[in-house]
Structure 1
Amino acid sequence: MIINILAAGPTENLADLENYQTEDDRWVGVDKGAMILLSKDIQPIMAFGDFDSVSKNEMDKIKQGVSQLNRFKPEKDETDMELALNWALQQEPDLIRLFGATGGRLDHFFANVQLLVKPVLQQQAIPIEIIDDKNILYIKNPGEYSIGKNSLHPYISFIPMTMAVEALTLTGFKYPLTNRHIPFGSTLCISNELLDDCGTFSFTEGILLVIRSKD
């Protein structure tokens, strides 16, 4: 099972949601994201939020179109996206995708990127991806990983999410590395490319953000 969560980020930054609809996918709306799903004839199974960004008419449509509505007061300790993600993690899906999580307000964007770390800190082996019209973001903890060429997202960047990532090694890349110490704030690993159909990356300590991008 895959859980797709759509937040209320700018629609011009959305990936084509039709490419992510299969029998294994379940959709969740966050705040106005529920309305966006309904407008695209995608049926959300749940909706979360304080819904402070929707009109009364839109709220009525959400109430009619979503059977399980979880409404919260604006004064709360979690963002609407985190509330939806907490629920999704409890379902133990194979994958969680976050849409509508980029563009617009930078505070929301950085908060959403930090949410990628949540299953790592909770020792849950559930991958989470942030996907928009130009990027795919995900987190990895120490280990060795294969990565395949993607013609739609040819550029690959590696960014430390901790004070440092240790012994980062990149093989099969245009700019290879061997056992490099990458401190937080380094731009050394921005905009790399695979030389062949597949490469590998590995590291021994830290948490690494992987970003696949297109122009």
Structure 2
Amino acid sequence: MNIGIIANGPRDAIPSLSRFGFIDVWIGVDRGTLILLENKIKVDIAIGDFDSVAKKEMDFIKDNTNQFELFPVEKDETDLELAVAKAMTFRPNALYIFGATGGRFDHTLVNMQLLLPIAKEHIKAVIVDTHNYIEMTLPGTYTIEEDMNYENISFIPISKHVLGLTLTGFYYPLIDKKIEMGTTLTISNKLIRKYGTFSYTEGILLLVKSCD
């Protein structure tokens, strides 16, 4: 199962949702639910405090959502965190988050950090916008397919260091390399074949595929 969550980020940062027909369950977060409905996508769950929608809009969401969950405005979690927690109950194979970047930087940063507990549950954890595909990874071996939407590929350490990083099929290959947080060594790489692989043995690594 693949789950898509769409938050209330800037609309111009949300890619064409028609590219994501493989998503099985859609969750709308607050006003992000309206974006799904405007794209004629069936909303399985709408969740949040809905403080950014008018009453008429909330009624429209309620009438066009299989499951509606309303939370108080004053709470410990953000609406997106609530949506992630809800998605995790399905035990999906992958969770794709849209509308989580492009606005306030504190929101963008914490939304990226929300990917870590997802990855720790062995669920593919991804944020997608018009310019970036951001995936949180843990030690292991991964295959990357060439994607014309996001040709640049960077690897960013989230932990103090990453050990044993090996890149094959890339313009700049690596073999068993240690990289430290703060290094720019692994920024702006590209595939030289249809597929490449990366692997590492210790640490936390953010895979960022992007376009100019």
1:61-210 matched pairs, under 5 angstroms: 61-121=60-120, 124-210=121-207
Q: Distance in 1 between matches of 2:119 and 2:21?
A: 26
**Superposition TM-score, scaled by structure 2 size:** 0.94
Aligned to 2:6: 6
CA distance in 2, matches of 1:208, 1:164: 9
Superposition RMSD in Å:
1.4
Matched letter for residue 199 of structure 1? G
Distance 1:83 1:59 in 2: 18
3-state DSSP class of the match of 1:45? Answer: strand
8 A Cα contact 2:131 2:210, kept in partner: yes
Residues paired across the two proteins, number: 212
Secondary structure, counterpart of 1:61 in structure 2: helix
Q: Which amino acid in structure 1 is aligned with residue 175 of structure 2?
A: T
Amino acid at match of 2:81: E
SS for the counterpart of 1:67 is strand
> How much has 1:164 moved relative to structure 2?
1.0
Q: Which runs of 5+ in 2 are unaligned?
A: none
Q: Which runs of 5+ in 1 are unaligned?
A: none
Shift of 1:29: 0.3
Tell me the distance in 1 between the aligned counterparts of 2:35 and 2:150.
25
AA partner of residue 157 (structure 2): P
Moved more, 205-214 or 131-140: 131-140
Q: 1:201 corresponds to which letter in structure 2? A: F
Structure 1: how far apart are the matches of 2:159 and 2:75? 27
Whole-Å separation in 1 of the counterparts to 2:87 and 2:96: 10
Q: C-alpha distance in 1, partners of 2:90/2:118? A: 13
SS at match of 2:66: coil
Distance of 1:170 and 1:57 partners within structure 2:
52
Supply the distance in 1 between the matched residues of 2:40 and 2:92 (Cα, whole angstroms): 23
Specify the code of the residue in structure 2 equivalent to 1:2: N
Give 1:7 shift. 0.5
CA distance in 2, matches of 1:8, 1:42: 16
TM-score, normalising length: structure 1: 0.93
1:49 and 2:42 matched: no
Moved over 2 A (4+): none
